[in-house]
Structure 1
Amino acid sequence: MKKTFSILSIFTLLIFSGLYINSCGSREDTVNCFPNNPINVSLNLNLPGYNALNYDNGWIYVNEQQSGSRGLIVVRVGDSFKVYDRNAPHICPDTNTTLEVKDNIAILCPKDNTKWILRTGQPESGSKTSLPPKTYPYNYDPMTKVLNIYY
């Protein structure tokens, strides 16, 4: 009876440990509980709402359909762009983990005040994580000024 109880206890402990690790452990680029939503956004930079993206260091929030669970942050970096997910990459999502742009130079997680450099996505010194915000690929046609973001 004691062997059965011990084996059952160990088995139960392993199951719950595995569930905890899988629900919020680290993956390569985000925590495992990071939402995995389809991204399929097309931005016409000729339109006034996207004008900031025509200039270096310009940025916008994108909250359109198929822009993830909390939207995107799109930043113009020279002739290219950075497209960040607004979910914090290092914490399971809750009511206070939506990333925000701070002072036009940093990305901030309001939950724990972790900051990343807006242009590069690198964590600032003293950050609580080494994970950068999740980024997405894009295609940009400079002739039509259409930016397509996908995942």
Structure 2
Amino acid sequence: MFLDFYRQLRREKRAVDEANGKYRAARKRAEAAGVDLKSLALMESLSKLDEAEATTRLRTALRYAGWADMKIGEQTDLFAADGQAVPEKAQAEWREGVAEEAGYDAGKSGQNRDDNPYPLGTPHAAAWDRGWCAGQAVIAAEMGPDGTGPKKKRGRKGRGAEMGPQE
């Protein structure tokens, strides 16, 4: 039984290592294409917040910079458009990806499929639904054989390792 778990852990670790390698390679390609990775990281951290909180964080950071005599944000046109518009096709693909991620989160958290916030028949609705199905698949994979709940675990109060086949 131990060796079964050990083999499973090694297999999962290999998958994590491969995914990390793909992630690092994608970051290198982005950097080579001119993406500022530190700005990307800032944008990514802000994207995890709701819009009001992200705006507050940016304003507060600029206020702190002003208090520290940093000249960031003093120019009234600092954040004016720089002429680098995102192509419409890329923007549409991005929004579909956001819809799919939202659907995944909804499906994984057990929300109803009818809670799709996008109008039926739109690409965003289809993307949200694909994500919802993927989220539901995660729940299904975590359920026990009778489909009623998580797989039973050994140990005190069910905190041990998942029970595998007994030999």
User: Which TM class, normalised by the smaller chain length?
Assistant: under 0.3
Q: Which structure features the higher share of strand residues?
A: 1
TM-score normalised by L of structure 1: 0.22
Larger relative contact order (C-alpha < 8 A, sep ≥ 6)?
1
Q: Which structure features the higher share of helix residues?
A: 2
Higher Rg: 2
TM-score normalised by L of structure 2: 0.20
